[in-house]
Every structure is written in C-alpha cells, then in structure tokens.
Amino acid sequence: MANSRFDLPTVYANLVGAVTDVVAQAKAQEISPDIEYISWDARQEVNELPNVDLIGLADWTYAENDDHRPDIEMAIVLSVVRDQHLFREAEILELVRKKCIIDSGRTPEFRVWNVYDDDNNPFAQLQVTSFEVLPSGESEARTVRSIGISLKRVDLAK
C-alpha cells in the first residue's frame, strides 16, 4: 500500500509533477523541444544555467488554518532563450494556463488537481483558486517570467 498521507513531501512532489506535465506537453507539441525542469529554489547562478528553455516550481508556501484545508501558493518560473518576440513563451504560458483553467464555455472555471500517492493513485484534491501571469524580467540572454498560482484543498468536508 502506498503512502496516502497529505504531507509536505507529497504536496511538493505533486506540485513538481504538475510542472513536469507542462514540460512533457511543450516537448510533445514541439513548442520547446529542449525545455527542461529546473528547481529554482536550489538557486543556481544565472550564468551557469543550461542554454535551453527552463521551467520550474519556485517560492511555494503552505498554510494550514482553522479549517485544516491548506492554502498553497506557488510560482512557476519560466525562462526562455532566443525568443525575440516571446511567441514561444506565450505558448508555454498557455499550457500552464490550461493546467489551471477550463475554458470550455462562457465562463472559465478553475481546475481541480488530484493529489497522487506513491502508486499514482489519487487520494486528495486541490482547487486552483487563482492564476496570474506576472511581469517579466530579462537578462542579456533570456527572459524570466513568473506565474502565480493559488490552490486550496477541497476534498475534506467544510
């Protein structure tokens, strides 16, 4: 039987999994064939980064309050190289948006993400509660943009 605890290592692994899903989509759709996942919180030197598009989880927070339905805030940081007019960046941002928002009718809705155990069985749910593309920064070789995402555990009774 796999670990089905809603603990910090499980939450972190599932957040990373959401970002690596975007990496796989960007590669499969040939938007960015060489894109790689990077752990931004590991604080690499900018001049030592690989010369490919990079995306990864950064600055995630976890708050458990009176309702014991945790609030999770996270940033996904996207850094693209050789994308002068940022069209590739926009396509990757849209992949992240589609991970957060269902846009299939008049009113878009936030998605619910399943939380998986070690055997890849879903056992909890996180509701996306906000999605925000933030202003970009740039260096000589690459642009860097953060996407802010908020989530709330929703599978527990209120």
Residue 34 lies in a domain: yes
Q: pLDDT over 70 for what percent of the chain? A: 96
Residues 54 and 38: beta-carbon distance below 8 Å: yes
* pLDDT value at residue 137: 83
Q: How many distinct structural domains can be found in the chain?
A: 1
> What confidence tens digit (pLDDT) does each residue in 40-85 have?
998 777 778 899 999 999 999 999 989 889 999 999 999 999 988 9
Q: Is residue 3 part of a domain?
A: no
Its domain, for residue 63, covers 8-153
Query: Please, which pLDDT band fits residue 158 given cuts at 50, 70 and 90?
Result: very low
Of the chain, the end-to-end C-alpha distance in Å amounts to 28
Task: Give the model's pLDDT for residue 105.
Answer: 77
Q: Could you tell me if residue 66 is inside a domain?
A: yes
Q: Which stretch, 79-83, 127-131, 134-138, has highest mean pLDDT?
A: 127-131
Asked if residue 1 belongs to a domain, the reply is no
In the predicted structure, residue 16 carries a pLDDT above the cut 50: yes
Flag whether 158 is in a domain.
Answer: no
CATH number of the domain to which 14 belongs: 3.30.2000
**Which pTM value belongs to this model?**
0.92
* Position 2 in a domain: no
Q: What angle do CA 19, 22, 28 make, to 5 degrees?
A: 150
User: Within 13 Å and on the Cβ side, how many CA atoms surround 16?
Assistant: 12
Task: For residue 3, name the pLDDT band (cuts at 50, 70, 90).
Answer: low
Averaged confidence pLDDT in the chain: 92
Q: What is the spatial distance between Cα 102 and Cα 93, in angstroms, rounded to a whole number?
A: 15
